[in-house]
Chains A and B, each alone.
Chain A
Amino acid sequence: MFIRLVKESFLRNPRRKLLTGIAIVLGMTVATATFTVAVDVGDQLAREFRSFGANLLVTPRADTLPVEIGGVDYRPVSEGAYLSEADLPKLKTIFWRHNILGFSPFLDVPVGVTDYQHAPSGTNFSATLIGTWYKHPVSVEDGSTFITGASFTHPWWKIRGRWFADDSAECIVGASLAEKYGVRIGDLLKLSRQGSSDTKEFTVAGIVSTGDSEDDAILCPLSVAQDLAGKHGEFRSLFLSALTKPEDAFSRRNPNTMSPADFDRWYCTPYISSISRQIEEVFPDTQVRPIRRIADTEGRVLSHVSLLLWIVTIAALIAAALAVAATSATTAMERRSEMGLMKALGASNVLVGSLFLAEQILLGVVGGCIGFAIGAGLARELGETVFGFATSPRLSVLPVILAGAMLIVIIGSWIPLYRAAHLSPAPILRGE
């Protein structure tokens, strides 16, 4: 009987239900779309921030003071400490290995340039040769290969011509240096390490413009620079680009004084400090420091933007909830004469109330499901247009959305139903 009444009510006057239904669908679409975007946007923005390049710098702990002006180390190769290239695959074995998006080792060698085509006779100037990787395969313990290099850690470098091929006797020349000395693509550069007489020839494959001191340097594959410096399998510093979670009050605490449970939580959260700690664990005798110019800004902007989106989302949710509640209140009020009739025919208040609530809840569930589907689609579209990455629909949101939809329609219809139930049927039926 109860079910039949509900069914009849839906079939008899579908237009009445339609309005509440539409309001619920729309409200839940807002809820799902904004919620899904707000959840995913942090990860996506963090990934976008990696276009600023590396956010961690690994250097030997027992190093002498680098004589470094604008990123180029002017120390002679005999001075200071080095890191071992053989340790690099270990980076992909740490707890947060998947958050390490790229790294590139750097080795700076002061060299003298003695000859190249177009060179005025007797040319002899000194420059810095920087050995690094462009796109270098690193074989990881689990058998996979990880491709990394400057193209990941220094994505803003602009190259004219092409990059050097790893392990070949090719180089790329900084834009200012090339302009100053008239070096062109295809030239053969003769380089010698300062204080040594053996020269090595490099083909200029491209001209790089970085906006930094590399513009005055020569870049070549790491292995070739190691040969020239006589430092096989070694490098000076490692730039590392990692996906991190913005710092908060918890991550700023000193991990050494944390309780074991807190330490585990800190260790298993991709804070820049915990990733640094994990790198220091696999890389003995190193010092891992965040490049604060990038890391600080990233943390602040990320937390502010996601906070902003959350607040906007919550405001939108409240507005949608109020609109849905208002619609269901209005439709419930419309049904007063129907309720009066039922009561006149002897139905109890409880029966009438539960009948109408059942209708509203049914509407809430159906509308909530449709709204969830549309909202997930909208969020996907939004993610694709903003980040070129489709947000996946979160099924875990569905029960929350449904429960919210039901709660809102019940709250919305409660007061009108309550008032209607306490009126005597006669005036309602008379239409007053």
Chain B
Amino acid sequence: MPVRPAMLFRKAMPEGFGAVLRLALRLSATAVLASIPLQADTVCIIIHGLGGLPEYEENFVKWSEGLEEAFQQGPAAQVHRLDGRSLRRDDILTTFQDVTASLQPDSEVWLFLVGHANVNLSQYKFNIKGPDLTGDDVEGFLNGLGQRRAYLVAATSSSGGLAEQLGAPQRVVVTATRSAFERYPPLFLSFLLESIESAEADTDKDGKISLLESYLFSRNKVARWFADKGRIQVEHPLLDDQAKVRLGEKKKGEQAQQPEPSVVGLLASSAYLSTPPEKAYRTLQARELAQQRIGVEREISSLKFQKAELPQEEYYKKLEALLIRLAQLNQRISELEGEQ
């Protein structure tokens, strides 16, 4: 039973642990299966805002260019980099309209906000020339995308509230901070950029970096950066997946050992910031085996979604069989291709 000291003159100490843990909901197997990536048309919008100080401005520009390059080389068919130092809110809203009008039904949209932001009267404000771009503006744009998948990365200060405001089905919202009160310019995006080319970030060893992998990598790097410097961590990134699962939220009492919500089957795990170059097989047989391999990989994914429903022994028996099959296919493909 927790105790508290009595104090003369003073009221009892307030409850220290304000944050309420949001219960993470496990996605259903069907919802997850539906999220297996298709070859969709991908559009990426990167907006960098006012720097205030030269060193911030330099970073914001550098990071935006890094994102632009990564998306041009990787998943995006179109990349729009907008400079909020010269473009005004109306210009950006016009771009939003134009992009929306140009989308295919199966298009996917990525939106990056890079810069300073603040929250005023509960309204998120991304600092650009003239009137700020607001959380409501971004919400209007994302809602206008209908059922299309959208990925927002708000790499700004005070961005935490966007996860709550903008979380929705078919949408992933990543914020560099977990609340409006984390007001320092975040480092998060620098690590996210690092993740795109990092083997360490590729935790499922499939040769490409998903938004989930990138988020987890960057989150760890942020924490370590502050720990190594011996500083109090002033930014805690969040990831909201379809308003059902939220990663990185403050735990009750901070030190409590509570598991993160399951990351199996999140939409963020099938949205890629980098993709490996298309593999050209030299033999027909290898090509056929590669097709079979895709099938086995799908079966493994499907099985993993059923993990909670299956008895453990049965699950691992089936998994083992599939993994052996996959390993054999890979071995055979390598042999055919003359690889080591």
Tell me whether A and B are bound partners. no
Q: Name B's A-contacting residues (CB within 8 A).
A: none
